[in-house]
Amino acid sequence: MSYFVELVDQRLITLITPARRAWLQSPRTLLLGFVGLHLLFLFALLPTILTGRVLGDLPLYRVWAEQALTTNVWQGIDVEWVYPIGALVPIVLADVAGPLLYQLLWFLMTLALNALAVGVLTGWGRNRAGYKAAWFWLAISLVLSPVGLLRLEGLSAPLVIMGLVLLARRPVIASALLTIATWIKVWPAAVMLAVVAASRRRVSVVLTGAAVSTAIAGAVWAAGGIRFLTGFVTMQSDRALQLEAPVTTPWVWLAAIGHHGTTIYQNHAIATREVTGPGTTFAASAMTPLMFLVMAAIFVLLVVALRRSRDHAQLVLMGALALVSTFVVLNKVGSPQYMLWIAPVVAVGVAHDWARWRVPAYLMLVIGALTTLIFPVFYLPLVHGDAGALLLLTLRNALLVVLLGWSVLALWHTARVGSTASVSVRRHADARGLATN
């Protein structure tokens, strides 16, 4: 791993000269990059917008919004729902101008939140250390655009970025953002867990999170839907192994080689591909307890590391990366948008300490590229057992395991020897011209 990191670093030193680095750290250049990228997105979506159609998961979102606004059937209030109740807000908001403009309004919401995330990362142009993180976020947004522009993660991920950046100086706002993100898609709960374990602002975070959650629960109770408030948990518990989940990879290979009794099938109820075969039922039932067991162990490791590390922000970010990666790697459900669970934490890590976070940054860019090749490019060949598509999936899932291992080892090292190692790494990078000024 270190050999490849050094190789990439050497290439970057050659490519990004001091003059080019100064150009990239210009507010005007970053603004042009942001506007150019989102104009590219708009151009790609323009045929869909002009014809009043929607892509990705948005057709289902639009159906839910239309049911709410025209027939008064609200998901999560009148019926059980697969998402936390907060997801209803952006889903319905995108339909306020009518179903024909749904794709456009969803894009505008994504653009606005991305703009806020980039602004907060860079201190609205004043924090030079945030420019590298902002460019990383733009790059990963491009690489994962097929899911980032068309699913709820495109909205929750920028909220997590803002929450993590604002944690030290605006803990109440940060906690509110992270709590709202959790009520849109549940994965930011792993980030909140890291904050509770390692942040000096944990009391403010817990109290604010409790207040926001109580307000949301109160609104749902007033609307008559309190019995469905936690329905998204029970609806997920009965799912089988999903095609793209790391744990499913051995059975995907068995299905590809024609192993008797192992098949890839369409679950029409939730519109996803799942895998069945010898041992899949046991694996599906065991993964959730195993995932929570590992997350509990990481939480304990964070508490131990807290006694030795003086860099609380670094510890929160490392813990968040380990917990969110566990959420992805040990999940029986696996979807391409899950990479947008990990990327926001890495983006804020890059802003905090490039030298320490360059490994997960490089890994995340490769993982993102492989994910987009798997879905949507080679998804149908994968379903039909194509060897090339299977190799892409296997490599992507292996790199996710590497990322999880790297984050846990970094936490373990901090728990044993404290934060002095990060200081030496930063000095080494500064000497080679890699660390952000």
The stretches of 269-386 forming alpha helices (DSSP H) are 280-306, 312-329, 339-352, 354-372, 379-383
Q: For the segment 104-132, what is each residue's pLDDT rounded down to a tens digit? A: 999 999 999 999 999 999 999 999 889 99
What integer pLDDT is reported at residue 251 of this predicted model?
97
Q: Looking at the predicted structure, is the pLDDT value of residue 422 above 50? A: no
The kind and range of the H/E element at 116 are helix 102-121
Q: Which three-class secondary structure state does DSSP give residue 243?
A: coil
- Please determine, for residue 368, whether its predicted confidence score (pLDDT) is greater than 90: yes
- What pLDDT, on a 0 to 100 scale, did the predictor assign at position 374? 97
Please check the confidence at residue 437 and state whether its pLDDT lies above 90.
Answer: no
Give the pLDDT mean for 159-178.
97
pLDDT exceeds cutoff 50 at 432: no
Give the list of residues 6+ apart from residue 229 with CB closer than 8 angstroms, or none: 76, 85, 217, 220
Place of tokens 């948008």: 337
Select from 181, 146, 86 the least CA-distant residue to 337.
146
Whole-number pLDDT of residue 10: 82
pLDDT score recorded for residue 418 = 66
pLDDT band for position 309 (cuts 50, 70, 90): confident
* Cis, peptide link before residue 344, omega less than 30° from 0: no
E-state strands within 210-301: 263-267, 272-276
Q: How confident is the model at residue 3 (pLDDT cuts 50, 70, 90)?
A: confident
Least confident of 37-41, 261-265, 349-353, 426-430: 426-430
The predicted structure's pLDDT at residue 270: 73
Task: Report, as an integer, the average pLDDT of 306-333.
Answer: 94
Average pLDDT over residues 333-345: 97
Contact between residue 83 and residue 152 where contact means Cβ atoms under 8 Å apart = yes
Residue 72, Ramachandran bin (φ over 0: left; ψ between -120 and 50: alpha; else beta): left
Predicted confidence (pLDDT) at residue 7 exceeds the cutoff of 90: no
Instruction: Tell me the β-bridge partners of 147.
Output: none
Averaged pLDDT, 365-393: 97
- pLDDT tens digits for range 196-255: 999 988 999 999 999 999 999 999 999 999 999 998 887 777 789 999 999 999 999 999
Q: What was the pLDDT predicted at 419? A: 55
Q: Which three-class secondary structure state does DSSP give residue 71?
A: coil
- pLDDT of 269: 73
* Mean pLDDT, rounded, for 39-66: 97
pTM of the model: 0.94
Q: In this prediction, what percent of the chain has a pLDDT beyond 70?
A: 95
Please, which pLDDT band fits residue 423 given cuts at 50, 70 and 90?
Answer: very low
Please give the average per-residue pLDDT across 177-196, as a whole number.
97
Q: Is the pLDDT of residue 436 over 60?
A: no
Average pLDDT value for residue range 77-95:
97
Report pLDDT for 424.
45
| pLDDT value for 420 | 47
With a cut of 60, say whether residue 373 has pLDDT above it: yes
Spatial distance between the Cα atoms of 81 and 273, rounded to a whole number of angstroms: 19
Q: Average pLDDT for residues 363-389, to the nearest whole number?
A: 97
Predicted pLDDT at 308: 83
Contact between 326 and 366 (Cβ < 8 Å): no
Neighbours of 299 (CB within 10 A): 18
403 vs 437, which has greater pLDDT? 403
Coil vs helix vs strand at 201: coil
